[in-house]
Amino acid sequence: MTKITLPLTLEIMQTLHAGDDVLITGVIYTARDAAHKRITEMLVAGKKLPVALKGQLIYYCGPTPTKPGQIIGACGPTTSGRMDKYTPRLLEDLGIKGMIGKGERSKEVKESLVKNQAVYFSALGGLGAEYAKLVTACECVAFEEMGPEAIYKLTVENFYAVVINDIFGGDHYTKKTTCTP
Amino acid sequence: MRLVKLSEISKAVQKLVIDANHYLPYDMVDAFKTAADNEKEKRAKNILYKLVENYKTAKEGIFPLCQDTGIAVVFLQVGDDLRVDGNIYDAINKGIETGYAEGFLRKSIADPLTRINTNTNTPAIIHTEIIRGPQIKITLMTKGAGAENKSALKMLSPADGIDGIKDFVMDTVGKAGAAACPPFVIGVGIGGNFETAPLLAKKALLRDLGLFSKDKTTAHLEKTLLKEINCLGLGPLGLGGVTTALAVNVETIPCHIASLPVAVNIQCHSARHKTVII
């Protein structure tokens, strides 16, 4: 188990390999379908984003509403593949340094990760209640009207994830051990 | 004839919504524990234990099991010896709306084209059946999109036979991969037509874990598929292991002599459903 304190520097990424278990501590930003669409439209139109994402780690997540007295609601990862269309642009033009989600990425995203020296992690899908306990602060920083699809700045502590695609082109999902029934 | 008030139905549905999102059926939790014992890989074991922890955290009632609190699928069985004092569908949708609001659950239903959220998690998808007697039975399933998006229907040819069915199921589960949140329950609907096979597959997801079909051929197919799926190497959350599915439930109904419809509905490990009898 490797402990990572953000930001995700090149020095840290050089030590990460597909299949490694990590515990992430620091600030991450949520964004899912609608936020990706909006960010991309703003980039195309040459508009300034309401939040600086250069060097940051994006978490594909749309939490449940926060109950009174709580920091956040359930907040596990959503399927990353839906963001594939937007991701290369976010890596290239925005300079994000990694993403956390679940499931396979497209060939274009994997190539872009190597080219732009960024890492893709998988969190554990369907463990929304457990992840909620690892968030120590949550603040909506953009697109508030989108509700769960807005961008939230989360401070996380020992957030469990697995390295899926590293900066060297390694892909954990291709390393399946099959058997004969 | 018994009169059932709409308010009673709404109230029952509201409670179902909140309960289903916080209490995972115990057969699932039991299956996680058994699967953990069978896993040799340390990570796969740990993930299965984490699923049990997630169940424990959620049942405290503060955080739902998953942030995707789903689309509400309702199996409504209405007795023929009762009447209700208004529109039963409106009453169910009202219960869904208040349940999602008061339970602080995520509203995930949007217009398919504009993508504008209805902000109520309605309309629910309601399947109605008339049964004998003076009761209403409501089963609510809160179905997440991760696994639903990987489900599939194929109109096979009768010549494809059981081998064709197996190939289609294996292909669908393989493609579902990590994104659909294994370990799965796989519902397979065979027969009927273009709209009944998927409904049959969905109903198959409600079967208690560990039970096989009473039909010998179908039960054999279920066991064979389960073994083969667990050899795919996906494992818990697709990160490796031998626990890719906890059950394969196959349901069949007769179909046209020229048809062989097969539907595969994938259920993630957060297999949330709950029933109430009014």
Residue of A nearest to B144 (CA): A126
pLDDT tens column, A100-110: 999 999 999 99
pLDDT level of residue B229 (50, 70, 90 thresholds): very high
The mean pLDDT of A140-146, rounded to a whole number, is: 94
Contact, A165 vs A111, CB < 8 A? no
Task: Write down the pLDDT at residue A181.
Answer: 81
Number of CB pairs < 8 Å for A and B?
Answer: 149
- CB–CB of A126 and B65 under 8 A? yes
Tell me the whole-structure pTM to 2 decimals.
0.94
The mean pLDDT of B266-274, rounded to a whole number, is: 97
Task: Write down the pLDDT at residue B208.
Answer: 95
Q: Which two tokens stand for residue B31?
A: 């299956």
Place of tokens 């197919």: B221
For chain B, give every domain's residue range.
2-20+65-143, 146-271
Q: Is the pLDDT of residue A175 over 90?
A: no
The rounded distance, in Å, linking the Cα atoms of A5 and A2 is: 10
Contact, B70 vs B24, CB < 8 A? no
B62 touches chain A (CB under 8 A): yes
The mean pLDDT of B37-65, rounded to a whole number, is: 96
Contacts A129 to B, Cβ<8 Å: 54, 57-58, 62-66
pLDDT tens column, B68-84: 999 999 999 999 999 99
CA distance A135 to chain B (A): 13
Domain architecture of chain A: domains with CATH:
2-166 (3.20.130.10)
The rounded distance, in Å, linking the Cα atoms of B36 and B47 is: 8
For B171, the 3-state DSSP assignment is helix
- The sign of the CA dihedral A65, A71, A74, A76 is positive
CA distance B249 to chain A (A): 18
The mean pLDDT of A51-67, rounded to a whole number, is: 96
Task: Put the strands of the sheet holding B245-255 in their side by side order.
Answer: B152-156, B260-267, B184-192, B245-255
Q: Which two tokens stand for residue A26?
A: 């620091």
Task: Write down the pLDDT at residue A179.
Answer: 83
The rounded distance, in Å, linking the Cα atoms of B269 and B54 is: 11
Q: Is the pLDDT of residue A40 over 90?
A: yes
Contact, A149 vs A62, CB < 8 A? yes
Mean of per-residue pLDDT scores for chain B:
97
pLDDT level of residue B223 (50, 70, 90 thresholds): very high
Q: Which one of A41, A127, A165, A174 makes the best mutation probe of the B interface by having the most chain B beta carbons within 10 Å?
A: A127
pLDDT level of residue A180 (50, 70, 90 thresholds): confident
Q: Is the pLDDT of residue A178 over 90?
A: no
Q: Is the pLDDT of residue B217 over 90?
A: yes
CA distance A61 to chain B (A): 8
Contacts B230 to A, Cβ<8 Å: 181
By a Cβ cutoff of 8 Å, what residues of chain A touch chain B? 21, 34, 61-67, 70, 73-76, 78-81, 102-104, 122, 124-130, 132-133, 147-148, 162, 172-173, 175-181
The mean pLDDT of A154-170, rounded to a whole number, is: 97
Compute CA A155 distance to the chain's CA centroid, rounded to the nearest angstrom.
13
Contacts A147 to B, Cβ<8 Å: 107, 117, 119
Q: Which of A79, A124, A181 sits opposite B146 (nearest CB)?
A: A79
| Residue A163: C-alpha distances to residues A101, A122, A130, B260 (Å) | 11, 6, 19, 42
How many Cβ atoms from other residues are within 10 Å of residue B5's Cβ?
Answer: 13
Contact, B70 vs B142, CB < 8 A? yes
Q: Is the pLDDT of residue B5 over 90?
A: yes
For B168, the 3-state DSSP assignment is helix
Q: Each residue of B93-127: b (16+ CB within 10 Å) or e? A: bbbbbbbbbebbbbbbbeeeeeeebeebbbebebe
The rounded distance, in Å, linking the Cα atoms of B75 and B92 is: 11
pLDDT tens column, B72-120: 999 999 999 999 999 999 999 999 999 999 999 999 999 999 999 999 9
- Give, in words, the CATH class of B2-20+65-143: alpha beta
pLDDT tens column, B173-205: 999 999 999 999 999 999 999 999 999 999 999
Task: Write down the pLDDT at residue B65.
Answer: 97
Question: For A153, phi and psi rounded to 5 degrees?
Answer: -95, 115
Q: Which two tokens stand for residue A70?
A: 């709580």
The rounded distance, in Å, linking the Cα atoms of B119 and B117 is: 5
Q: Is the pLDDT of residue A176 over 90?
A: no
The mean pLDDT of B6-11, rounded to a whole number, is: 97
Start-to-end CA distance of chain A, whole Å, equals 32
pLDDT level of residue B150 (50, 70, 90 thresholds): very high
